[in-house]
Structure 1
């Protein structure tokens, strides 16, 4: 593992995406517990993509336009559903007090669905890991898995930071309906933008 790998990983993870938005919203709606559950789920959701990349499943996604498009549009559709749920003040991203009782299992399922239905993450690992471990070097598989584990750990730490930060200002947001409405629209617009990027940035 190199400093370049850690810096690249940190930049990728810190950059706001679906996982960051989910964790922020979980912290705002459900407090610290929901934020921690969302952060852990978001980090664990990187593991299937990593395994898919190192076992060659990413090659199938990349070579089969039909399979890749199907997964991509399912992911985009789920993001759009989250946007609609946000605007209607129900579901995973409602910024109100009622969301605090949302079961941990529901948060986990929503997080995993959102991240698993994003083939770009698998393709990312395919393009990312060989920059630091050449596939033909001895022990390349174990080294890729090790770097992937570091990526997942960094993801967990960063997501926890985002989530706890959101939870810390939760009460202030809930006490200001206009701020809550503004945040709700921002979350909804962000998910629509992510859905568009997912469908338009085809490999």
Structure 2
């Protein structure tokens, strides 16, 4: 595995996106442990895209305008739904309480998973990204792509957990200031909307 792959993958993972946004919001509202769950869900959500890239299904998605647009529409609607839930204080920035510490683990994983699975650009990205780091003379290219995918997922999880840990450090200060929390909800909702618009304008 080349250092170039590790460096490129790290840069890609560090770049802010829907997964980072959701993990940060979860850490601020429910603490570090919940953000680890969110990071796991986000990482799990890229697995189908990698499988699609490795098996060639992503190429079919890229070739089919209807399939791409259909998945893109679902992704946009889900991001707008996340924005609405955030504003209504029932989404990613819904503050957990001592009476229900485990209420949202399954929902958190599902929400994080859906954020990534409904983004068709990820399948196309991995279809273009992974083969660049497989040698032309590799006797087992599929195995190499599986190994690269596993490393990319591990990096994703570790980086997202790090984002969550940093956000959790300032959680108590933010929760102690209701006005700041309100503005943060609006900012995160706006970010979800912006990402939805970006996805809506995305081309194959």
Both structures adopt the same fold (TM-score exceeding 0.5):
yes
RMSD of aligned C-alpha atoms?
1.5
Structure-1 separation of matches of 2:81 and 2:169: 27
- Post-superposition shift, 1:177? 1.4
**1:14 Cα deviation after fit:** 0.5
Q: How far does residue 71 in structure 1 lie from its aligned partner after superposition?
A: 0.4
* Equivalent residues of 2:45, 2:115 under 8 A apart: no
Tell me, yes or no, if structure 1 residue 160 matches structure 2 residue 131. no
**Partners of 1:29 and 1:100 within 8 A in 2:** no
Is the partner of 1:45 in helix, strand or coil?
helix
- 2:109 corresponds in structure 1 to 108
> How many residue pairs are counted as aligned between the two chains?
202
- Distance (Å, rounded) in 2 between the aligned partners of 1:160 and 1:148: 18
Aligned to 2:93: 93
* C-alpha displacement of 1:107: 0.6
Superposed CA offset, 1:17-50 (max 9, x none) = 0000110011111112211101111112221111
Question: Which consecutive residues of structure 2, in runs of 5 or more, have no partner in the other structure?
Answer: none
Which structure 1 residue ranges, 5 or more long, are not aligned? none
Which whole-Å CA distance do the structure 2 matches of 1:10 and 1:25 have between them? Answer: 21
Partners in 1 of 2:13 and 2:51 — Cα distance? 18
Cα distance between partner residues in 1 of 2:87 and 2:201: 24
Separation in structure 2 between the aligned mates of residue 110 and residue 123 of structure 1, nearest angstrom: 22
The aligned counterpart of 1:180 is 181
Other-structure match for 2:65: 65
Query: After TM superposition, which residue ranges in structure 1, 4 or more long, deviate above 6 angstroms?
Result: none
